[in-house]
A = this chain, B = another copy of it.
Amino acid sequence: MSLGEFDLIERFFWRPAGQGPRRAVVGNGDDCAIIAPAPGMHLAVSTDTLVEGRHFLSTVDPARLGHKALAVNLSDLAACGAKPLAFTLALTLPRVDEAWLAGFAQGLLALADAHDCELIGGDTTAGPLAIGITVMGEVPAGQTLLRSGARAGNDLWISGWPGLARLALEAFRGTLQPALTSDDFDTARRAMECPEPRVALGLALRGLASAAIDVSDGLLGDLGHLLRRSQVGATVVLDALPVHPVLAARPVSQQHDCLLAGGDDYELVFTAPPEHRARLLALGDSLGLPLTRLGAITATPGLQLLQGELDVWPDDAPPQPVSNRWTSFDHFKS
């Protein structure tokens, strides 16, 4: 290797003064970075590692990989209603590929800038390609969106268009019948490689949502975590799921597979009292992000899938239960 450890971090990732967000009181280059949360603020912390071959393909564009490595961490902050402050980067690299590093840094720092989140610490080691990020955000004391706040009678909501990332993954795996058109593949691939963390939504949900979680392992799997933590159940109406046009062109069973057990969506699933419906729909409009109501929280534990209309007149047929053949996506089991 031609570049030493210190050169590498400094050269590709540190920004000159005045460029990029400044969140640290003492920035990189000391033993620790020092950050100063605002008075009355709590600190939200999350960590996620992406490993080549497991979380991304070796052929992925490095700028998209840089984006995604931070996006999946910002998504955790979004799910807590926390505002991004700063992050650390632990890079394990098989070799020093300058073009790759420049691309990776560009994608990473562009997303960081967009969310006013400073890279405050780094560590580089030689080894099989892996990217570890720990992100820190702030949230007013007592306003964190938790998994444990869902109450019976709450509505169940999801943001955006889940399912596209799984569609792209199956296309890469060569298992998708019929094949995607080139345009549809690009759309799905972008969803998989460049997820947009729902940070603005998370901030806006403070005081509106009773509970939230981000969807990384599939809608039903992550909803299950929320339900267990809240000690409640839920009904999910299949016909209410938001179906992106690319997904709408697929066979129905494939739509359901991708929507319910997709993974890598980085949308927010959240619950809210019914009186907030109008405000939430208006919020979705103002963010340019569809917010879809797909069911309700029940006092009875467990998850029930229903087929039919979400809102029926008293004399119409209520939605009917269907069997659940989807399970969570687990990186250790798949």
Contact = CB atoms under 8 A, between A and B. Distances in A.
Interface in A12-38: 25-26, 29-37
A147 to B, nearest CB: 5
Contacts of A4: 330, 332-333
Contacts of A47: 88-90, 121-123, 132, 134
Interface in A119-154: 120-128, 130, 132, 134, 136-137, 139, 141, 144, 146-148
Contacts of A6: 330
Contact of A32 (B3, B80, B124): B80
Contacts of A124: 332
A219 to B, nearest CB: 15
Interface string A29-72: 11111111101001111111111111100000000000000000
A54 to B, nearest CB: 6
Contact of A90 (B128, B132, B144): B132
Chain A interface category by residue count: 35 or more
Contact of A121 (B46, B121, B212): B46
Interface string A68-93: 00000000110110100010111010
A53 B213 CA distance: 37
B330 A5 contact: yes
B229 A77 contact: no
A179 B130 CA distance: 38
B34 A80 contact: yes
Given A35-B42, A127-B54, A229 B3 contact: no
B26 A34 contact: no
A29 B229 contact: yes
Interface in A205-220: 212-214
A51 B124 CA distance: 10
Interface in A148-173: 148
Contact of A54 (B121, B125, B146, B330): B125
A149 to B, nearest CB: 10
Contact of A44 (B29, B32, B77): B32
19 contacts: A1-B332, A4-B332, A6-B330, A25-B144, A26-B144, A31-B76, A31-B80, A33-B45, A34-B80, A36-B42, A49-B123, A54-B125, A88-B134, A123-B132, A124-B332, A126-B331, A127-B128, A132-B132, A134-B134
Given A53-B127, A96-B332, 17 more contacts: A1-B332, A5-B331, A29-B229, A30-B146, A32-B80, A33-B45, A33-B46, A34-B45, A45-B136, A47-B90, A47-B132, A49-B90, A51-B92, A51-B126, A92-B130, A125-B331, A127-B130
Interface of A: 1, 3-6, 8, 25-26, 29-37, 39, 42-55, 76-77, 79-80, 82, 86, 88-90, 92, 96, 120-128, 130, 132, 134, 136-137, 139, 141, 144, 146-148, 212-214, 229, 330-333
The 10 A-B pairs at the shortest CB distance, nearest first, are namely A134-B134, A32-B44, A31-B79, A47-B88, A51-B127, A132-B132, A31-B76, A32-B46, A32-B80, A49-B90
